[in-house]
């Protein structure tokens, strides 16, 4: 329902209690308070509400406004799984994608490599990164990680590698004949494996 002043809502309720219909009520209120004071559609909405037995003149809570608990739940969901998309979050929380996006940015989150990360690092984030870095450096010294890698490569090489090239000849001469490549040439696979000590 549109936002209208409380005194106009009282007038709409008065017209409803008089037994007038919504169109007549809108016409009477506009005649008394000025043209455009209330729209016919607004009167119909309030009359429908009154017919349903709700005589309160206060607005109902809007479904679009997120509650604090929803924002807290969003924080928990992002901390548990930062790879959730705004579409998945909107389905889980039952609100609009743009609302989710706005709240994520208000929390200081940005989407990097399909993961929501803090825009500004907190002291906890910095400490966590230092701890992980120290662990990885100590692990590198304990285990010879690079020495354990064995890698290789392979290449298919033709048995017969004829290449036909252009020839410069006189206009009346024929070029020297060259054999054509087979439709299915024979190949051999050359494989080389190496590690930190060599091939």
Q: What is the pLDDT along the chain (199 residues), one digit of tens a residue?
A: 456 788 888 888 888 988 989 899 899 989 988 888 888 888 898 899 888 888 888 877 665 555 666 888 888 888 888 888 888 888 888 888 888 888 888 888 877 766 666 677 788 888 998 999 888 888 766 666 667 778 888 888 887 777 766 666 677 777 777 777 777 778 888 888 888 777 7
Q: Rounded to 5 degrees, what angle do the CA atoms 89, 73, 122 make?
A: 95
Let me know: does 86 contact 101? Beta carbons within 8 Å: yes
What are the chain's domains?
6-51 (1.10.10.1450), 148-194 (no CATH)
Residue 33: burial class (beta carbons within 10 Å; 0-12, 13-18, 19+): middle
Pairing of strands 115-118, 109-112: antiparallel
Let me know: does 46 contact 12? Beta carbons within 8 Å: yes
């Amino acid at each position: 329902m549109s936002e209208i002043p409380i005194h106009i809502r009282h007038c709409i309720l008065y017209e409803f209690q008089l037994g007038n219909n919504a169109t007549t009520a809108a016409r009477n209120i506009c005649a008394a308070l000025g043209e455009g004071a209330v729209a016919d559609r607004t009167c119909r909405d309030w009359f429908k509400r009154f017919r349903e037995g709700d005589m309160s003149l206060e607005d109902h809570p809007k479904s679009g406004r997120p509650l604090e608990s929803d924002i807290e739940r969003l924080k928990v969901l992002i901390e548990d799984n930062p790879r959730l998309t705004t579409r998945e979050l909107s389905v889980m929380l039952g609100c609009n994608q743009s609302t989710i996006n706005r709240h994520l940015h208000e929390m200081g989150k940005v989407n990097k490599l399909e993961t929501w990360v803090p825009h500004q690092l907190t002291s906890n984030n910095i400490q966590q990164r230092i701890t992980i870095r120290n662990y990885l450096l100590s692990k590198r010294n304990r285990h010879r990680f690079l020495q354990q890698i064995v890698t290789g490569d392979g290449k298919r090489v033709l048995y017969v590698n004829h290449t036909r090239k252009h020839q410069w000849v006189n206009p009346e001469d024929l070029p020297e004949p060259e054999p054509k490549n087979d439709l299915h040439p024979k190949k051999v696979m050359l494989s080389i494996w190496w590690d930190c000590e060599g091939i």
